[in-house]
A and B are shown apart, each in its own frame.
Chain A
Amino acid sequence: MALIDATDLSRTFVVRRKDAGRRSLRRRREEVHAVHGVTFSVEPGEMVGYIGPNGAGKSTTIKMLTGILVPTGGRLTVAGVEPSRHRTELARRIGVVFGQRTTLWWDLPLRDSFELLQKIYAIEPARYRENLDAFVTLLELGDLLDTPVRQLSLGQRMRGDITAALLHDPEVLYLDEPTIGLDVVSKGRLREFLRTLNAERGTTLLLTTHDLQDIEALCDRVIVIDHGTLAYDGTLAGLHGRGGSMRTLVVDLVDEAPAISVPGASVRRVEGPRQWLSFPADASAAPVVAAVAASYAVADLSIQEPDIEDVIRELYSRS
Chain B
Amino acid sequence: MADASVVRAAPRQYAWIALMWIRAALAYPASFWTLTVAGAIITGLDFVGIAIMFTTIDTLGDFGLREIALLYGATGVALGLADMAIGSVEQIGHHVRTGSLDTMLTRPVPLLVQVCADRFALRRLGRISQSAVVLAWAAVPIDWTPARVAVTLMMLVAGLGIFFAFFVAFSCIQFWTADASELANAFTYGGNTMTQYPLTVFPREVVLSLTFLLPVAFVNWYPSLYVLGREDPFGMPSWFAFLSPAVALALLALAALAWRTGVRHYTSTGS
Looking at the assembled complex, report how far the CB atom of B165 sits from the nearest CB atom of chain A, in whole angstroms: 23
* Distance between Cα atoms of A69 and B100 in the complex (Å): 14
B108 neighbours in A (Cβ, 8 Å): 88-89, 91-92, 120-121
- Pick from A63, A70, A88, A120: contact of B6, CB below 8 A: A88
User: Provided the pairs A69-B270, A92-B108, A120-B109 are in contact, do residues A108 and B20 lie with their beta carbons within 8 angstroms?
Assistant: yes
B16 neighbours in A (Cβ, 8 Å): 116, 119-120
Q: Which of B72-112 contact A (CB under 8 A)?
A: 98-100, 102-103, 105-110
B99 neighbours in A (Cβ, 8 Å): 98, 100-101
A316 at the interface (CB under 8 A from B): no
In the complex, what residue of chain B is closest to A85 when comparing beta carbons? B1
B107 and A68 contact, CB distance less than 8 A: no
B236 neighbours in A (Cβ, 8 Å): none
A179 at the interface (CB under 8 A from B): no
A63 and B24 contact, CB distance less than 8 A: no
* Distance between Cα atoms of A105 and B267 in the complex (Å): 23
The B interface is mostly helix, strand or loop, or mixed, namely helix
* Distance between Cα atoms of A60 and B268 in the complex (Å): 11
A116 neighbours in B (Cβ, 8 Å): 16-17, 20
User: Provided the pairs A13-B269, A63-B270, A69-B267 are in contact, do residues A91 and B17 lie with their beta carbons within 8 angstroms?
Assistant: no
A70 neighbours in B (Cβ, 8 Å): 267-268
B8 neighbours in A (Cβ, 8 Å): none
A308 at the interface (CB under 8 A from B): no
A84 neighbours in B (Cβ, 8 Å): 267
A56 at the interface (CB under 8 A from B): no
B13 at the interface (CB under 8 A from A): yes
Looking at the assembled complex, report how far the CB atom of A92 sits from the nearest CB atom of chain B, in whole angstroms: 5
B230 at the interface (CB under 8 A from A): no
* Distance between Cα atoms of A68 and B16 in the complex (Å): 24
A120 and B106 contact, CB distance less than 8 A: no
* Distance between Cα atoms of A98 and B101 in the complex (Å): 12
A96 neighbours in B (Cβ, 8 Å): 103, 106
User: Provided the pairs A84-B267, A108-B20, A112-B24 are in contact, do residues A66 and B106 lie with their beta carbons within 8 angstroms?
Assistant: yes
In the complex, what residue of chain A is closest to B113 when comparing beta carbons? A120
A94 and B106 contact, CB distance less than 8 A: yes
Q: Which of A117-163 contact B (CB under 8 A)?
A: 119-121
* Distance between Cα atoms of A127 and B75 in the complex (Å): 47
* Distance between Cα atoms of A67 and B99 in the complex (Å): 15
Task: Give 14 pairs: A residue, B residue, CB < 8 Å, sorted on A.
Answer: A60-B270, A68-B105, A68-B267, A69-B268, A88-B110, A91-B108, A92-B108, A94-B106, A101-B99, A101-B100, A112-B24, A116-B17, A119-B13, A120-B107
**Told that A68-B106, A68-B267, A69-B270 touch, could you supply 20 new A-B pairs with CB distance under 8 A?**
A60-B270, A63-B102, A66-B102, A66-B105, A67-B105, A69-B268, A84-B267, A91-B106, A91-B108, A96-B103, A98-B102, A101-B98, A105-B20, A112-B24, A115-B20, A116-B16, A116-B17, A119-B16, A120-B13, A120-B108
